Amino acid sequence: MSSKLSNDFIWGFATASYQIEGSATADGRSPSIWDTFSHDTSKIADGSNGDIAADSYNKYKEDIELLKKYGAKSYRFSISWSRIIPLGGRNDPVNPKGIEFYSNFIDELLKNGIIPFVTLYHWDLPQALEDRYGGWLNDEIVLDFEHYAKVCFESFGDRVKHWLTHNEPWCVAVLGYGHGAHAPGRTSDRAKSDVGDSTTEPWIVGRNLILSHARAVKLYRDEFKPKIGGQIGITLNTSWAIPWDSTPENIDAAQRAMDTSMGWFADPIYLGHYPESLKAMLGDRLPDFTPEEIELVKGSSDFFGLNTYTTNLVKAGGTNEFDGNVIKTFVRPDGTSLGTQAQSPWLQAYPDGFRQLLGYLYKRYGSPVHVTENGFSVKDEGKKSIEEAIHDTDRVEYYDGYLRALLSAVNEDGVDIRSYFAWSLLDNFEWQDGYVTRFGVTYVDYETQKRYPKDSAHFVGKWFKEHVEE
């Protein structure tokens, strides 16, 4: 057996439209819910927003040059819905300038031998739909998303063969409607928001996200795939959950954590039903699917898209139902930590957990895996000089461990993994952290918008050159 990845393995780097593009009002783009949310400076750690971000709308050719320099085979990026259909809805006008931008962008990637891997929705809902009917809380959104997807398939489907419907629906539902930490910022916590009901809204939103995904996939399979081929799926986020010790209650807690983070979306899509633990926890607050809807939903992803960064040790006894009512920690019973601490408090490096997660989901769901995000935020990187920051040793060590774990999952555990995307190509607007947290393999000086490759960019490029068959 080869100790390398097959020559058709896709690898590259990932970004999201609101985090990098800037040009918030250029060429007919209308505000998204993230424009609105981030312009309330109390919501973002450094009071910043994505109006300029990494200026990639203007510097995309330079970014593609970086991809080429790093040797990337592919680039995962997302389309801004409010650039394509500024008012968002199925009866609203399409913006030709938005179509033109992404069309030129895709052509430039292909010209440079880079495969476009496109996400339709990476959290930036047109504000007009939020104002019109409450966005993801209203089932009108299902048809509007399907229409938006259709416009993208018609405009770019001749050149794009890899599609993702949604990025991390758990984050959309829980952070946007449970904790109020992401747009649109709804929560029962009245210190954070005047509106929202965390006991019901995230579950309603989750259902609409699943149905909108499934309708977009059916449309693609019915109307586009027969003519142009291609693959379409969804990407889900989870951390791996390890029981804190071997007691039955903590073993159950770890499974419950997996059921709530991943199973909430993965089980209906790949298995045709919600996890039993989720149904038991929520009762009639979990809005179910009709038999016709389950028929639409089950099997509605050609692959398993996975965003994962870390592992948690899990014990029973928590009160946060979005985690499955468990307590998560990085500290083992003997007092040691799992791994190197990132800038992000929720992230420590633990490559073995990545390998275990890949094996778990392949066994449970049986779908080929695309690792669509994986990366590390170096502690205090934003406080370092450029000269210091580009020598990102902790990130290099993270990628070294996680890529070796991926190789072991493929060659020793038999997991069918088709791609890997490092997060992120560029330092960017890191949602509620603003520009404090940096995940990029490329340092962005936000004052000059100059890009500086970090050691990790060279490491990842060299690693894949050495570990993918010619």
CB 343 within 8 A of CB 393: no
Active-site annotation, residues: 168, 373
Give the three-class secondary structure for 372: strand
How, if at all, do strands 442-445 and 450-453 pair?
antiparallel
SS (H, E, C) 156-215: HCCCCCEEEEEECHHHHHHHHHCECCCCCCCECCCCCCCCCCCCCHHHHHHHHHHHHHHH
Indicate the residue type of 27: D
Among 385, 376, 358, 354, smallest CA distance to 424 is for: 376
d(CA 175, CA 10): 30
124-142 burial, b for 16+ CB within 10 Å, e for fewer?
A: bbbbbbbebebbbbbebbb
d(CA 300, CA 221): 10
d(CA 470, CA 465): 9
